[in-house]
């Protein structure tokens, strides 16, 4: 990229910065020069106590120790003072016969030896400082390397978790949202916007103006009430609602949210997920329908029939109403099944069921309870006149010829009718009364109806 530093340049600069060694001049101890003077005086006193010979024997250690502990400056002061003390106080008594030339030579040699030692000590100090600086830089580099490694691993883990979260949201067809309590507006992710028919891009909406009209009227108020209760109680919100899509479809959404608070504890927002549960709701509805309906004809089955019969008996007991129970049986159905096969028999049952369903009112109930047996519950009608009229219509519609797979089939219908509560005060006795009436109708020529009693 233009204008960006190269990798090589960045690495070299980082190494130079990290491994730079500060060459520090050794600083004299706080009292280094006083120590140097004291060292010379001690060396002079010690030398006076020794017999003549080796004039520098006590001054040399004084200079070396001063250089080691106090640095080069005090050591030079100590060297000069030692030379002066030796020249004036020590050499005259140690070299009386040799004269000034020998004393000068001895002093020069002392200076050379001491100078060499001071140079070596200084280099050792510098090497020691350099090693210490290098060790410190190495430790800093290791710490920085560990920190960078930890940071890189944390970033990699975060990226991995973010990727997994994105994959999970995509797999679950989940969207994200954030509702601002102060403004009443919500930020919707791309998927959440798609769930509500707002398009395929993230969007910010006003909940009252934009969101409420998209929600089924039976769900909008309840969902907002759930949201308000979560905000008031600082709890989680879980709610299901239906979205009315622009194309007329209905989509089921479940929303899960968590309240956010500020430093003062006030609720600022609610953040959460939305899941499209339309498929689950449709599956649940299908399972519920299959549990209560006949798979061949789609009519109510025996279970739903008994539930409705129990409810009507209870209504009779509470309010003194009446209703009629019909037991229906298709005449000559076994012959059709045996002659043309079960597929034709099943098709015949579907056609007869559709004809019967077309005759009864919406408030009445038609159910298939097995084989070619059907039952009808007729409510809210004057009896027995309404039951007689309905029985005649049922018989008339079934006896019409049926064209099926190239065959003209003719069947008829026998009907038994029981009136509640006259023919039974409980479901079983009422059903038995209608069933006995059905068998009388079949015994008396079929294609007719009979009342119980």
How is the beta sheet containing 412-420 ordered, strand by strand? 365-370, 373-379, 323-331, 412-420, 449-451
- For 432-435, the CB contacts below 8 A with 24+ separation are 433/325, 434/325, 434/326, 434/327, 434/375, 435/327
DSSP labels for 117-179?
HHHHHHHHHHHHHHHHHHHHHHHHHHHHHHHHHHHHHHHHHHHHHHHHHHHHHHHTTEEEEEE
Pair of tokens at residue 165: 């979260």
Catalytic residue among 331, 364, 372, 423: 372
Pair of tokens at residue 283: 């599956």
Q: Which residues of 211-230 are buried (b: 16+ CB within 10 A; e: fewer)?
A: beebbeeebbeebbebbeeb
Pairing of strands 203-206, 185-188: antiparallel
Name the helix (H) or strand (E) containing 276: strand 267-276
402: nearest Cα among 327, 336, 343 = 336
CB 374 within 8 A of CB 328: yes
Is 364 a catalytic site residue? Answer: no
Residues linked to residue 206 through DSSP beta bridges, in sequence order: 185
- For 429-434, the CB contacts below 8 A with 24+ separation are 430/309, 430/313, 430/325, 431/309, 431/325, 431/327, 431/375, 433/325, 434/325, 434/326, 434/327, 434/375
Residues 6+ apart with CB under 8 A from 313: 420, 425, 426, 427, 430
Residue 332 exposed, middle or buried by CB count within 10 Å (0-12, 13-18, 19+): middle
Pair of tokens at residue 24: 């520090």
Tell me which residues are annotated as active site: 372
């Amino acid at each position: 990229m233009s204008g960006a530093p190269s990798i090589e340049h960045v690495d070299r600069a980082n190494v130079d910065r990290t491994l730079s060694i500060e060459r520090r001049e050794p600083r004299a101890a706080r009292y280094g020069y006083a120590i140097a003077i004291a060292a010379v005086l001690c060396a002079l006193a010690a030398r006076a106590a020794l017999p003549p010979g080796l004039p520098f024997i006590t001054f040399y250690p004084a200079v070396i120790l001063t250089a080691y502990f106090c640095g080069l400056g005090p050591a030079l002061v100590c060297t000069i003072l030692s030379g002066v003390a030796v020249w004036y106080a020590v050499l005259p008594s140690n070299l009386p016969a040799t004269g000034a030339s020998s004393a000068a030579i001895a002093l020069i040699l002392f200076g050379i030896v001491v100078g060499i030692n001071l140079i070596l000590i200084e280099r050792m100090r510098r090497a020691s400082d350099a090693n210490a600086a290098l060790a410190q830089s190495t430790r800093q580099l290791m710490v920085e390397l560990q920190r960078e490694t930890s940071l890189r691993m944390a970033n990699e883990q975060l990226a991995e978790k973010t990727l997994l979260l994105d994959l999970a949201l995509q797999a679950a067809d989940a969207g994200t949202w954030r509702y601002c309590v102060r403004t009443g507006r919500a930020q919707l992710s791309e998927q959440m916007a798609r769930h509500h028919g707002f398009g395929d891009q993230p969007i910010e909406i006003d909940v009252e103006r934009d969101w409420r009209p998209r929600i089924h009227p039976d769900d909008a108020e309840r969902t907002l009430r759930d949201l308000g209760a979560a905000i008031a109680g600082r709890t989680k919100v879980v709610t299901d609602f239906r979205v009315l899509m622009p194309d007329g479809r209905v989509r089921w959404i479940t929303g899960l949210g968590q309240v956010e608070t500020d430093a003062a504890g006030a609720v600022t927002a609610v953040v959460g997920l939305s899941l499209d549960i339309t498929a689950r709701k449709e599956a649940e509805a299908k399972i519920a329908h299959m549990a209560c309906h006949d798979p061949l004809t789609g009519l109510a089955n025996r279970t739903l029939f008994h539930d409705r019969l129990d409810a009507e008996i209870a209504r009779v007991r509470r309010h003194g109403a009446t209703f009629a129970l019909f037991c229906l049986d298709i005449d000559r159905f076994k012959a059709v099944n045996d002659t043309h096969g079960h597929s034709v028999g099943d098709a015949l049952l579907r056609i007869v069921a559709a004809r019967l369903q077309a005759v009864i009112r919406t408030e009445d109930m038609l159910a298939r309870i097995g084989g070619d047996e059907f039952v009808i519950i007729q409510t809210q009608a004057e009896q027995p006149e309404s039951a007689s009229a309905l029985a005649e219509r049922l018989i008339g519609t079934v006896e019409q010829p049926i064209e099926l797979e190239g065959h003209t089939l003719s069947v008829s219908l026998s009907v038994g009718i029981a009136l509640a509560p006259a023919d039974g005060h409980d479901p079983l006795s009422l059903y038995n009364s209608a069933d006995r009436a059905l068998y009388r109708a079949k015994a008396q020529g079929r294609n007719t109806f009979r009342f119980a009693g």
